[in-house]
Amino acid sequence: MSGAARHIERLVRPVPDWPQAGVVFRDISPLLGDATAWAEVVDELSEQIGDLGRIDAVLGVEARGFLLGVAVARTLGVGFIPVRKAGKLPADVVSSSYDLEYGSATIEMHADALEPGARVVVVDDVLATGGTLQATIDLVNRVGAEVLATAVMIEIDGLGGRDLLTGRPCLALHTF
């Protein structure tokens, strides 16, 4: 087990039955509060992403994916593109709807956020059912850019998320 995975195992807190019965939420707040652990997580994920070759931007999914995505983008020396919940961005957007483990949602990205042909990585904190990441890939494809990989801190085993994300690497630092 890598150093980052050990930190995730030790510091990410399971919260049963939140936001609804039957869901185990993975709270990354304790990890964020440990500067050494957080730095190791960001560095290890950045290193794995850097091995993919030229990357033009990192996309992060609201809200916890912003935290990881911005840190990874800064480490890699590339730009960061926010993917937000519907109605939060001020300019023209592209939208994609998807199902969650416990409902449905719509995400958006500025229509001009990426140049056609841009090579990007989509970063989020947790991969569960894969709906959020797949919807983000859809946004990137619609503006003519290319998703090289998806990358997460945590993968929840048994929910089929990885199976939905075919055709590109899916990097995960730890699986629960």
Q: How many domains does the chain have?
A: 1
pTM (global) more than 0.75: yes
**Domain assignment present for 67:** yes
pLDDT, position 93 = 98
- pLDDT tens, residue by residue, 62-117: 999 999 999 999 999 999 999 999 999 999 999 999 987 667 899 999 999 999 99
8 Å CB contact between 119 and 54: yes
Average pLDDT over residues 1-11: 97
Parent domain of 63:
53-175
Q: Per the domain annotation, does 16 fall within a domain?
A: no
Residue-level pLDDT at 23: 87
E strands, 17-118, are: 24-27, 57-61, 79-85, 93-100, 103-110
Q: How far apart are the first and last CA of the chain?
A: 13
Residue 135 has pLDDT above 80, yes or no: yes
pLDDT value at 9 more than 70: yes
Q: Which residues are catalytic?
A: 64, 101
**Domain-embedded: residue 39:** no
Pair type for strands 146-155 and 13-16: unpaired
Is 22 inside any structural domain? no
Residue 65 maps to a domain: yes
> Domain with 128 in it: what CATH number?
3.40.50.2020
* Domain assignment of residue 24, yes or no: no
pLDDT of residue 101: 65
The verdict on residue 103 lying in a domain is: yes
- With contact defined as beta carbons under 8 Å apart, do 150 and 128 qualify? no
